[in-house]
Amino acid sequence: MVKKVLVLGAGMVSKPLVRYLLDQTGVHVTMASRTVSKAEKIINNHPRGEAVSFNIEDDDVLLKKLVKDHDVAVSLLPYIYHVKVAKQCIKHGKHLVTTSYVSKEMKDLDGEAKDTGVLLLNECGLDPGIDHMSAMRVIHEVESKSGKIISFKSTTGALPAHDSNNNPFGYKFSWSPRGVLLASRNAAKWLENGETISIPGEKLFEHYTIQDVPDVGSFENYPNRDSLPYKEIYGLKDAKTVYRGTFRMVGWCETMRSIAALGWLNDKPLKSFSGRTYGEMTKHLIKTQGDNTIEETARFLNLKTYSAIIKRLEWLGLFSDEPLPENADNPLDYLTLLMLKKMSLSKNDRDMVIMHHEFIAEYNNKKEYITSTLLDYGVPGGDTAVARTVALPAAIAVKMILQGDIKPIGVHIPVIPEIYNPILDELEKLNIRFNEKTKII
C-alpha cells in the first residue's frame, strides 16, 4: 500500500521537499495550502501528487481529515501553528516533522506523543537542523575516542554567492526582509572562556569579529541569540566556550548599526506620513530641517559624507525623493519594502549557505582543533541553497520514518545518532556535505 505524506504550506522551502519525496520515493504527497495555485505549480500534475485548498486558521475539520488520512505530516506553516497540527497527529497516531525551533507548548506534548507511539521531530532544517546534526556527529566522535570538547563555536550565513554579490550591502533577500531586520534587535548571550557574556539588542552590532573561512572568504561574525542552552543540548559539560553566530559580508554590522541609530528599525506607527518621501522620513527620524539630508545624516552618525556607510544608505534610497509606500505606516515596514525592492535575489542570481563549526577537543596527551565546514550554492533559476538545505533534511527524515530507519518517539530534535546519522548520510549523496579538518594544537 502506498504511504501518504501531508505537506502543510507551499512557501519557498516546500518545493525541494515535495520534489524529493515524489522523485526519490514512491509515496503519495498531498500539499495543503491557502494559495492552492502555488501547491499545484509544485505538484506539476505528478500522478502521486495532489493539491488542496486549506486554511489552518479556520479549517479544523479539514485538518483532522488530512492528518487522519496520511502517514506522516510535515508542517511548513509559521511556527505558531505547529502545536495545533501536532495535537491532531497525536490524536490520530501520525508522525510530524517541522523545521522550526521547539516551543514550550510543543515540548509539553512529549508524554502524550510517547503514549501514542508518535514522533514529533522538530528543528530538522538547516539552522536549526543540519547545525545540530553535523555538530553532534563530531562531538560524539570525539567522545568515542575518550576526548572531551572544551570549546565549541558554530556560525551560519545565507548570503549571495560571490558572483551574485553586486550591491553595496553584500546581502540579498529571497523572502521578506522583515524577519532579518527584526532579528537585528535580538539580545545575545554566549559562554567565552568560562564567562557568560550578555549583549543587549541595541548593542548587537558592536560585537562582531572578522573571520576567515578557508577557501570561501572573510566575513563578519556576530552572535546569534542565546547560545547558553546548547551547552546542555549538545552535552558539552566540559566546554568553557559555547558560541553560535551569524555570517554577513564585511560592512554589514556597522551599516545596520547606523540604520538602527537613525530609527529605521522602529515599528511604531507614524501618523501623517502619507505622500511623503524616504528622504523626508530620514529627516523626521533625526529631527532635522536642514536642506542637505546626506550631510545632516552624516553629522548625526558622526561620519563623513563619503564614508562607505553613507554611500550604502544613499544607494538604498534613504535620502531619496521616492514616495513612501501606502501599504505601510512605520519606519521598519517602509525599510522592509525598500530593501525588498532593491535587494531581492533575482532569477539569475545564486545564493550560498556557509556553516562553519570550530571545536577544540582535549585528550589525555593532546589537544585538537577541528573545523567542519559546509558550503552549498543555489542554482540560478532553480532552488536556492537556503531552500535546499532547509527542505532536504526534513524530506529525508520523512522517508526514513516511513522506512522505519528512524524509530524514536516523543518530541525530538536531531541530536541523537539514530536520527542524525541516516539524514547526514543521505544529504552527502545529494552533495550537501561537510569538509572536516583536524590539526594538533
Q: What is the 3-state secondary structure (H, E, C) of 267-320?
A: CCCCCCCCCCEHHHHHHHHCCCCCCCHHHHHHHHHCCCCCCHHHHHHHHHCCCC
pLDDT > 70 fraction of the chain, expressed in percent and rounded: 100
Contact between 391 and 382 (Cβ < 8 Å): no
Among the listed residues 207, 180, 179, 203, the one whose alpha carbon sits nearest the alpha carbon of residue 192: 207
Q: 183 CB contacts (<8 Å, ≥6 apart)?
A: none
Q: 211 CB contacts (<8 Å, ≥6 apart)?
A: 155, 218, 219, 220, 221, 247, 356
Give me the residues of the chain with pLDDT under 50, please: none
**Calpha distance 149→187 (Å, rounded):** 26
**Calpha distance 292→29 (Å, rounded):** 58
C-alpha cell at 45: 500534475
H or E stretch covering 425: helix 417-429
pLDDT at 271: 82
> What's the one-letter identity of residue 402?
L
**Calpha distance 120→113 (Å, rounded):** 7
**Calpha distance 180→172 (Å, rounded):** 11
DSSP letters of 179-238?
HHHHHTT--EEEEETTEEEEE-GGGGGGS-EEEEETTTEEEEEEE-SB-THHHHHTT-TT
C-alpha cell at 186: 535580538
Q: What are the chain's domains?
A: 4-126+385-433 (3.40.50.720), 130-251+346-383 (3.30.360.10), 269-329 (no CATH)
Model pTM score: 0.94
pLDDT at 275: 87
The residues assigned a catalytic role are 127
**Calpha distance 320→341 (Å, rounded):** 14
H or E stretch covering 359: strand 351-362
Q: 161 CB contacts (<8 Å, ≥6 apart)?
A: 349, 350, 351, 352, 377, 378
pLDDT at 440: 95
pLDDT at 369: 98
pLDDT at 291: 86
CB atoms under 10 Å from CB of 383, counted, come to: 18
Pairing of strands 95-98, 209-213: unpaired
Q: 433 CB contacts (<8 Å, ≥6 apart)?
A: 374, 427
Contact between 350 and 130 (Cβ < 8 Å): no
pLDDT at 1: 87
